[in-house]
Amino acid sequence: MAAALRGIGLLRARLGLPAAAAATSAALGRAPHRAPALRGGAAAARPSAGRSYGSQAKEEEELRVRYLDDEHKGIVVLGLNRSHAKNALSKNLVKMMSKAVDALKSDKKVRTVIFRSEVPGIFCAGADLKERAKMHSSEVSSFVSRARATINELANLPVPTIAAIDGTALGGGLELALACDIRVAASSAKMGLVETKLAIIPGAGGTQRLPRTIGVSLAKELIFSARVVDGEEAKSIGLISHVVEQNEAGDAAYKRALALAKEFLPQGPVAMRVAKLAINQGMEVDLVTGLAIEEACYAQTIPTKDRIEGLLAFKEKRPPRYKGE
């Protein structure tokens, strides 16, 4: 450990690299204690002065936020619901997502987040190019940076996130799924990172997260060829963790995601947060630095109430009652 820390110090001094372990502690220390701002279906849905687009969905209905109950308590489902545009990421949808993710970040009742679509056959068709065509170029860059920031925030949520891909996920839609910890898809779902032959490269993390997920060579092949893969192929290259046969209701991937989320529920929330942070940060550095990050993370869990409760429960042979901190 001493050697590892010396190594980090040396690295920092020599290369001016950000202090990974220090950053980790800082991130861990930032205990979110804001009251949950969102509840029930009204989440992310602040009415926007009654604006409406004729037959199109009202803006606040484009992202449905549901806090599940009973055996699924602790699971929050974000449902894309912009059917007239195949869930394309518009300014409004990104704004809704940003609000929802922001609220989830500091809500201690949330244990796992599932991202899905409420629109049959579609996960998300990517950026809303129709809307973009009407934007001024300065507007485009601020929109793309907001989309990117929102997707990063999603990736950094302190709880596990699962993308349930029951239909087509293209471009920004797949980038969104790549920012989740785990992806589950129906075998019929179509996935591709580069939407068309437009002169657009992935701008919301795709060129970075795809190679980190499936490896450099395959990622390049997929991007260079603009290839679209189905669920089976996505599974075979490691783009998704589970592939399922679609069912009549069209929500087989969601059902699988729900079963997965249920497996996560009994775990201690502090341990989950710290483990995700250790993995996410550790994957970006060399092993020695990564092990130092793990040690810093581990040390953070020792004094927590969760851990004490976990050990007590173990001694008393009962299930732990985690509260999170």
Ligand X SMILES: *[C@@H]1O[C@H](CO)[C@@H](O)[C@H](O)[C@H]1NC(C)=O
Closest approach, Cβ 64 to ligand X, in A, equals 4
Judge whether 139 counts as a catalytic residue: no
Residue type, 144: V
Count Cβ atoms below 10 Å from residue 34 Cβ, excluding itself.
Answer: 11
Q: Measured at CB, which residue is nearest to ligand X?
A: 57
Q: Could you tell me whether strands 63-67 and 75-80 are parallel, antiparallel, or unpaired per DSSP bridges?
A: antiparallel
Query: Using the rule CB under 6 A, which residue among 25, 83, 106, 187 binds ligand X?
Result: 83
Stretch that binds ligand X, among 32-40, 56-64, 247-255, 307-315 (CB under 6 A): 56-64
Contact string (CB under 6 A) for ligand X, positions 262-281, x = contact: --------------------
Distance (Å, whole) CA 200 – CA 228:
16
For residue 182, give the 3-state DSSP assignment: strand
Of the candidates 66, 17, 58, the one whose C-alpha atom is nearest the C-alpha of residue 42 is 66
Residues in region 5-34 near ligand X by CB under 6 A: none
CB atoms within 10 A of CB 60: 18
Q: Residue 111 and residue 269: Cα distance in Å, rounded?
A: 7
Q: Which of 27, 36, 37, 61 binds ligand X (CB under 6 A)?
A: 61
Binding mask 111-130 for ligand X (x = CB under 6 A): -------x------------
CB atoms within 10 A of CB 20: 21
Query: Site for ligand X (CB under 6 A): how many residues?
Result: 6
> Would you state the structure tokens that stand for residue 6, as one six-digit string?
């010396």
From 74, 167, 171, 172, active-site residue: 172
Nearest to 98 by CA among 51, 36, 136, 152: 152
Active site residue 40: no
* Whether residue 172 lies in the annotated active site: yes
Smallest separation, CB 164 to ligand X (Å): 16
Residue 298: partners with Cβ closer than 8 Å, 6 or more residues away = 274, 278
Q: Which of 116, 256 has the CB closer to ligand X?
A: 116
Piece of the chain touching ligand X by CB under 6 A; list 57-65, 91-99, 215-223, 278-286: 57-65
Active site members: 127, 172, 175, 195
Please give the residue ranges that form the binding site for ligand X (CB under 6 A).
Answer: 57, 61, 64, 81, 83, 118
